[in-house]
Amino acid sequence: MTRRSAVPPPVTAVLDASSRWLPARLGEVERLLREESTGRGGALGEDAGATLAAGGKRLRPLLVLLCAGAGGGDAAVRAGAAIELVHMASLVHDDVLDAAPLRRGQPTVVANSGRKRAAAVGDLLFSRAFALLAEAGDERAVTLLADASTALARGELAQRRDAFDTRISEQRYLERCRLKTAKLFACACLLGRDEEALGAFGVEIGLAFQLLDDVLDVSGPPERTGKARGTDLLDGTVTLPLIAAAEVDPGLRAVDLRALDAEGVETLCDRIVASGALERVRARALSMVESAKERLASPAFDGEQRDLLGLVADGVVQRYS
């Protein structure tokens, strides 16, 4: 469940397949993000340059733009930038927390002043997201984004509350994914266009995205995922691969995650792999993606929209990082 590592699917494939409006619009989102960082007193420019870059491949803005379609205009660009700012803010706040002593068994490298700066940068990015939408008078967008941000924080809280509990239910896990990941995906789609089917599409690909993220945490390989296997387990985060594995191998529920060391976590990952749980979770994610794509069958969407959103949906489960 480490959102940090959740680098989005190949946006390139979508761009290659699209007509020229999409790369142009994505460029405008990028320009707006940069403007928010350097055009306003330089505070963010100095402190959050790396954050802008670390934001990944702009999957959420891409969803906004695709759902808005070729006629989306400035409102979609603004909404795309705003949702990315919220996503970045959450990454920055994760960074602050990652500096905890003993986290992932590594010594803390971020100095006190570094963490303070990061916390303020996160708050700043967060504020700018709402300012951007509010300045344009886009009430509906502010409400959508505020609700999605609330869900994101609530998902984080739920994950904290569940930490180290190997007995949480699949239902509880899915509810957490909905709050922590899927709601923001759905928000991106609805920011693009107010259409129920798009909200449902966003929820399903968001869930699939998180499921695959959780599979990759156990499967590795680290060279491709960019993080050590079992990072989430070491952090006490119980995800579907472990829950599904315990159905076959009930002894897994008795594992004390607090006592895991680097070696123990490798053994645990291997045991989850041996149970066949990863295939089952991956299949589940794939079926969510299929179901998501079916939502687009309606005549409310044009061919290009259907094709490109379909590519995004496929990309969510075809990735290593």
Contacting a second copy (CB under 8 A), which of 161, 222, 224, 283? 161
Q: How far is the CB of 83 from a second copy (least distance, A)?
A: 13
Q: Is 172 in the site for a second copy (CB under 8 A)?
A: no
Q: Is 109 in the site for a second copy (CB under 8 A)?
A: no
Q: Is 143 in the site for a second copy (CB under 8 A)?
A: yes
Q: Is 262 in the site for a second copy (CB under 8 A)?
A: no
Pick the closest to residue 159 from 122, 117, 214 (CA basis). 214
Q: Cα 151 from chain centroid?
A: 13
Contacting a second copy (CB under 8 A), which of 19, 106, 150, 287? 150
Q: Is 106 in the site for a second copy (CB under 8 A)?
A: no
Q: Is 261 in the site for a second copy (CB under 8 A)?
A: no
Site for a second copy in 74-93 (CB under 8 A): 89-90, 93
Q: Is residue 290 within a helix (H) or strand (E), and if so which, with residue range?
A: helix 277-294
Contacting a second copy (CB under 8 A), which of 113, 169, 221, 256? 113
Contacting a second copy (CB under 8 A), which of 10, 23, 236, 264? 236
Contacting a second copy (CB under 8 A), which of 18, 149, 210, 231? 149
**DSSP secondary structure letters along 203-243:** HHHHHHHHHHHHHHHHH--HHHHSS-TTHHHHTT---HHHH
Cis bond upstream, residue 221 (ω within 30): yes
Residues 6+ apart with CB under 8 A from 83: 60, 61, 64, 129, 145, 148, 184, 187, 188, 191
- For the chain, first and last CA: distance in Å? 13
Q: How far is the CB of 279 from a second copy (least distance, A)?
A: 31
Q: Is 124 in the site for a second copy (CB under 8 A)?
A: yes
d(CA 190, CA 273): 37
Contacting a second copy (CB under 8 A), which of 10, 34, 54, 130? 130
Q: Largest alpha-carbon pair distance within the chain?
A: 57
d(CA 30, CA 301): 26
d(CA 122, CA 90): 7
Q: What is the contact surface with a second copy in residues (CB under 8 A)?
A: 40-41, 43, 46-47, 89-90, 93, 96-97, 100-103, 108, 112-113, 115-117, 119-121, 123-124, 126-128, 130-131, 133-135, 137, 139, 142-143, 145-147, 149-150, 152-154, 156-158, 160-161, 163, 236
